[in-house]
Structure 1
Amino acid sequence: MQINIGDKVRYLNETGGGIVTRLLDANTVMVLNEEDEFEIPTLKKNLVVIESAGGTSQPKRESNFPQSNSLVSKQSSAKPLFVEKEDVYMAFVPKEGYAVTDSPMELYLINDTKQVLLYGFFDEIEGKLQGRTAGNLDPNSKIMIREYERQELHELSTCTFQILFYQQGDFQIKKPLEKNIKIQAVKFHKDSSFQETAYFHENVILYKLSTSAIDQQMEDLSQKEIKQIIREKEASDTGRKPQNKQNLSSAILEVDLHINALIDSVTGLSNADILEYQLNKFHEIMREYQQEKGKKIVFIHGIGNGTLKKKLHDELHRKYRKHYQQDASFKEYGWGATMVTIR
């Protein structure tokens, strides 16, 4: 039986059907399932064509097929997050019927390459690393790996994938991929963490697992070659006119450490979690500006019960003793802010 890309087909041995998106070999085609919108490799003998595409090279879609769920390139009035092709991603997807920042999360593996992925998945919860699942994933498709309840998300510290690439016939060997993603639970409480992509209806938290060509080239460089590149870069920079550091440091940087200024929702976070996140933000800013002598940073911590202020001052004395600290302008901040001058 002749089956072409774009043909609308029905399954012979089960209910449902879909659209043919690719011809895999003489006996097998890829079908975009109309029910769950996953691409499924299917033998031609198990299909019947109910509407021909007339030999066109592009798949024909019914209007009730949400285009944003397919892995076929598409155009939308809203600009989605830019996604390179020939890449592998994982995504946390909120479940339907929940507010984004209160929802359990479904973890998906996305194969946006022309190769079959042979994968193993591991996660670390409360310090315990466990193998969860393994399998293979066809080209240009996605699969749900597992679901996490809200409490599990707070206990989840890492997600790890080990991946091999396979392609029948002519193939240029790719290095196996091992990616360990550190999970920050606070991201699941921020609407801004969820972005539009070409892969899902919902906004998701997307992580790139694959390595770009440039990153791969850097991995292949020897230490000697890296040092030579650095020397050449430093030599090219010597002729540049230095910037006026005084001007760069003159502006006062305000950092609001109130938790509602840092995240959109505190649902599920304990007071200890909130304090830890606020202090992590403080350390992040101090590390970023610790080389800019004369830089003034105002950390707004509020008055409250004084816990954050005390912890912040303790950290300044313990880790950043060389920098000058003082209460910020009472007129502007009351007693609720501390100014640090980088030395």
Structure 2
Amino acid sequence: MTAAPGSGTSRSPRRIGPFEVPAVGLGCMNLSHAYGVPPTPEAAERLLLAAVEEGVTLFDTAALYGFGANEELVGRVLAGHRERIVLASKCGMAGVDGRRVIDGRPETIRRTADEALARLRTDVIDLYYLHRLDRAVPVEESVGAMAELVEAGKVRALGLSEVSATTLRKAHAVHPVAALQNEYSLWSRNPEQGTLTAARELGVALVAFSPLARGLLTSTPPDPDGLSSGDIRRGMPRFGARHYPANLELRRVLWKIADDVGLTLPQLALAWVLSRGPHVVAIPGTRSVSHLRENMAVLDVEVPGELLASAGRVLNDATVHGARYNEATLAEIDTERCGRAG
């Protein structure tokens, strides 16, 4: 069941396990990984420090991002602000000999955590996610190893990423899960197939990654022909020639809805995600300080529920064109499916 749209957002904090954070955090992946050539170290540092100045407290990284480079970046830049932030990272998927490998074995999780602590320059990770479910390892075993990290004082709270409601419940029975990080936006509605409700029932925060639809709902949508060879969107059906023009047309309608009431399109998109429930937190990523400020400004905006409902009617799992991943990647992911195939 889909949560009913509410009105706007505010600076009231939202809870992730033992932590209270603003409803908008920062996804750090694109500073090192997945979206083509990363920014210079100096530009990435400026962005991270600007985020601290803008009141961001939740910073999200992972062992996979840049094959360790992103954790090193975040650790180096934010070491002096450690007491002011909630530091989140992930295990269970990393770079091995230049390849992305899913590995949820307990011994791998323990080793990855120690490596992350060193790169992040901290003695404890606030929120540690299982990045992907390893289908060769029961989730209970992976989460059991992560629970040992909590007992050892290396991790404060646990999370899961890209898993179903069934897997969430299995993991939560082993150790309380503080956060479930799944893709959630106007064009990626998978959480509405079960995890949005399950998270609320279990007291788990739903942390929405890619809330701006992989850049479609930003001020300048990506040009698929201009994406570099290392940009993961080149392999996503929604950005392919067969589907992207139709998705751009939906974006145009949403832009007008936002512009008519003095909002930017990213602000409308973020407000919609945050209206899904008080347990929802969004972690948009950006390389632009001005876009960062634009995103954070949504915390001071009240958006009428009917406007959010209108946005949701324009772009949803029935109107979006194309699947969110190709079939090979979808086979790796445990989340419920929705949206058009192709």
* TM-score > 0.5, shorter chain as reference: no
Q: TM-score, normalised by structure 1?
A: 0.22
Q: TM-score, normalised by structure 2?
A: 0.22
Q: Which has the higher strand share?
A: 1
Structure number with larger C-alpha Rg: 1
Q: Which has the higher helix share?
A: 2
